[in-house]
Each structure stands twice: as structure tokens, then as C-alpha cells.
Amino acid sequence: MCEMLLKGRLKDISLEEYWLGKVVDIEDFQIEVTEDMIRCAETYVEYIFKRKEELNATMVIEEKVFMDEISDKCFGTADCILIAKDRICVIDLKSGKWPVEAVKNKQLKIYAIGAFLRYGDQDADITIEMTIVQPRLKNAIKTHEISSPNLMHWADTDLKQATDACDEENPQRAAGDHCRFCAAKADCDEYKSKLGDKYG
């Protein structure tokens, strides 16, 4: 829905008229489109268009970003990247109710590194703006800014150290709340011994 709005694919019809009540099959799940889902998409898109206009920025949607300088196994797909004169914005939609913060958000930082390496001037000190749009929360929009030198310092130290550790023959595992979103937890002895089946 967001992509249709952002790319102007709806002609003479609203998102609600096109989508409301439709049932979509995604990975063995049937999802019926509700008004709440439509409001989420509209909130996210409105914010992007507002920032794009404010910054006179170029917009890139669903862009796969890489950081081979750090690790060829570290990459991601950014929901939206805005490229402006002295600023790159990475905007991520979260449709759930579990609060996600923009500050110290490693996922956003990884997207931001990939965006900067692809679209930024490596010799310039520009502002990297990282935003979470989470329409189902009262505080729906959260933004954190970092300078490109500080972001790349984190990439060259913390992120590089973490990706190198993952490449070790027997990488150290540390179970915790972050296991909630891990696809490998069912096969991880560390997770099972420390957290049992806390996150299913």
C-alpha cells in the first residue's frame, strides 16, 4: 500500500477504495486489509512526502543497501531513503505496537551506513537522519540524527567487530530480549538454555 502511494500508482481511486476488505496471501498467511492498516500506510507516506518537500530531496523506495567495506554479509533493505544536499534520511515503517526507538537503533544505523556509502560524499560531513514511523503508537514519529563521520566511526569499530565475531569458527552467542526477532532461535542451544521457549 505504501509503495503504491509513494510511486503514484493509484489513479482516480483512493487507497481505501482499492484495498479495504481485500484478502492478501503472504507466506501462507491470509491478511485482510483493514482501515487501521490503511491509516498506517497513509501516516507513513504523508511523513515521507512532507520531509521530501522540506528538503527538496530525491526519494528512493525499498532500496537494498550494502556495506562490503565492513562485511559482505551485512546488508538490508531500507523502506525509504531521502537524499538531500547535506542530509540523508533513512525512514523505516514499523506497523506493530511493540515500541521501536530511533536512538541506538542498530538496524537503522546499518541502513544508514549503506545509504551513505551509496549516495553520500565520503569526504563530506553530512547529517544522517534516522526515523521510525510507527503509526499505531501515540508517539508515532521518532528521529535521531548523527553526523556521517560518527556513523562511519561506529561502522568501523562496533559494527566491524560484531560482523568479524560472527565469522569466527565458533561465534559466541548471547541470549537476551533481542532473541525475540531471531529466525534461528529454534536451533540455538544458548537461547534454549537461557530463555527456554520465552519467545516461541
3-state secondary structure of 66: strand
Check whether residue 193 and residue 153 sit in a common domain: no
Instruction: Please state, in angstroms and rounded to a whole number, the distance separating the CA atoms of residues 148 and 88.
Output: 9
Instruction: Please state, in angstroms and rounded to a whole number, the distance separating the CA atoms of residues 26 and 123.
Output: 43
Amino acid 181: pLDDT = 77
Percent of the chain with pLDDT over 90: 74
For 69-98, b where at least 16 C-beta lie within 10 A, e where not — what string? ebbeebebebbbbbbbeebbbbbbbbeeee
Check whether residue 113 and residue 35 sit in a common domain: yes
Q: How deeply is 131 buried, as exposed, middle or buried, from its count of CB atoms within 10 A (0-12, 13-18, 19+)?
A: buried
Query: What mean pLDDT is predicted for residues 1-6?
Result: 93
Check whether residue 117 and residue 184 sit in a common domain: no
Amino acid 174: pLDDT = 83
The closest alpha carbon to 34, from 15, 21, 18, 17, belongs to 21
Instruction: Please state, in angstroms and rounded to a whole number, the distance separating the CA atoms of residues 15 and 142.
Output: 25
Amino acid 22: pLDDT = 94
Check whether residue 132 and residue 178 sit in a common domain: no
- When the pLDDT of each residue in the chain is averaged and rounded to a whole number, the result is 92
Check whether residue 18 and residue 92 sit in a common domain: yes
Q: Is the pLDDT confidence value at 198 over 80? A: no
The residue with cell 533481542 is 178
Check whether residue 20 and residue 59 sit in a common domain: yes
**pLDDT tens per residue across span 65-116:** 999 989 998 999 999 999 999 999 999 999 999 899 999 999 999 999 999 9
Check whether residue 154 and residue 57 sit in a common domain: yes
- Number of folded domains in the chain? 2
Check whether residue 28 and residue 93 sit in a common domain: yes
Check whether residue 184 and residue 117 sit in a common domain: no
Amino acid 200: pLDDT = 66
Percent of the chain with pLDDT over 70: 99
Q: For residue 141, what are the contacts with CB-CB under 8 A and spacing of at least 6?
A: 47, 131, 132, 133, 134
Q: How many CA atoms lie within 13 A of 98 on its CB side?
A: 4
Amino acid 179: pLDDT = 82
Check whether residue 99 and residue 146 sit in a common domain: yes
pTM of the predicted structure, to 2 decimals: 0.89
Let me know: does 130 contact 102? Beta carbons within 8 Å: yes
Check whether residue 198 and residue 131 sit in a common domain: no
Check whether residue 94 and residue 72 sit in a common domain: yes
Instruction: Please state, in angstroms and rounded to a whole number, the distance separating the CA atoms of residues 63 and 45.
Output: 16
CATH number at residue 104: 3.90.320
**pLDDT tens per residue across span 168-184:** 888 888 888 888 878 88
Q: Which band of pLDDT confidence, cut at 50, 70 and 90, is reported for residue 125?
A: very high
Domain with 53, as residue range(s), is 2-168
Query: What mean pLDDT is predicted for residues 42-71?
Result: 95
